[in-house]
Amino acid sequence: MLYYIVMRKYIFFIFIFIAASMLNVPLSYGSSNADHDCTKCHKLSLDEAQNIVQGGIPASRVLEINPGAVKGVWEVVFEVRGQKGIVYIGLSKELLISGEMFDLKAKRNLTGERLANLNRIDISKIPLDGALVMGDKNAPKKVIVFTDPE
């Protein structure tokens, strides 16, 4: 009987302790604020990105790191044999994601648009010293044709 009297006193305190500890559970699992910018807390250096990307694409060289279009990933621009590409690295630095990212509302290929901008060639930088010019040299629009006779 004495045992039950002592236990009744402790049950109240045990209940209060458990209830108080449950209040902190949501706080310990991160913020539920969707506007939180994860890149303020998480950082990715060029060296870290280089090591991660070379794990999946050995001959690559990382050029730049940008926040991804999706929260929780970085967009990493790399180059292999002069050709630029994009991969995504998760904030945990354990995921390397390769592939196209689409905006379904706008019906746009975000990765494709970014790659087109990265690999765009500035025509004014193409040397035309030995070029065969046909037509007006000062025409507003020019067509450049590359051929390989072999």
CA 121 to chain CA mean position, Å: 24
Out of 6-20, 90-104, 120-134, the most confident range is 90-104
Assigned token pair, 71: 């929260």
pLDDT for 135 = 86
CA 143 → CA 56, 102, 134, 138, 149, distances in Å? 38, 32, 10, 12, 19
Residue 93 near residue 73, CB atoms below 8 Å: no
Task: Say how far apart CA 70 and CA 46 lie, in whole Å.
Answer: 20
**Domains in the chain and their CATH numbers?**
38-99 (3.10.450)
Statement: the pTM of the whole predicted model exceeds 0.85: no
Interval 116-131 mean pLDDT:
84
Summarize pLDDT for 12-29 with one digit per residue, the tens: 556 565 655 555 544 434
Summarize pLDDT for 60-101 with one digit per residue, the tens: 999 999 998 888 899 999 999 989 999 999 999 999 999 999
